[in-house]
Structure 1
Amino acid sequence: MLKEEIGDRASEIIWRGRQWIVTNFGLETLGDPFPYEVAATRLTEGWQGADESLLAWPMELAGKTWVDYRDFVTAYLVALGVHQEAYSPVDVATIKASLNEGRAMWEATKAEMLGDMDDD
């Protein structure tokens, strides 16, 4: 495993994607364009949005224009597998529903951005 300085601490990198990494801490961006981290203990927190049966992180990050959502989904699933002992249990149906809803939100966000560019 690689060790890398991330923020104020050194993290062991367990999996590395284009934008996201899974570390011994949890789930983190590589730093660009924004540093972002989710502790392993928080991976299955509920979303405080319209549908509270969904998981927070797939929904929260789907609406951020800088997120490589496909890379996030892969990293999120790896993090769930690696850190099973750290977070509150959640059923597979909830994970699937959250990722599907998040993907739809991400695609709508991308389409809106592209539409805004066409208006220029």
Structure 2
Amino acid sequence: MGTYREAISHVMLAYKGKFERDVNLKQILECLTLKKVIGTNDYQEQIEKPAEKQAEFLVRIIPNKGLDGFRALWECLKEKEPTFAKKLLESLGEQNKECEQIIRNGGAGQQQQELTE
């Protein structure tokens, strides 16, 4: 089954191209800033970069933020890209069903400890 971080990392990497091509990453980065997943400095730095670099940033940062970070990303995507958000979560479920269920049920907090186990 692997760790939550591994599952999230796998999914983020698998969808990197989709993020680059089809998602307004500036909106997603702004949403993630409002949700306090990324800081204002990171946001300011990333919005100046091309989509490829923004996608690389998300692929790197979201797994490090664990379930809370992935959930925040999913919530941001649900607002702007609901079909993609659904597909992303289903792909996470293929990697780790428990991860998907935790995200769907709105909880992460206590499960964060498993990220490093």
| TM superposition score normalised by structure 1 | 0.31
Structure of higher CA gyration radius: 1
Structure number with greater CO (CA < 8 Å, separation at least 6) is 2
Higher helix share: 2
- Bigger share in strand: 1
Report the TM-score, using the length of structure 2 for normalisation.
Answer: 0.32
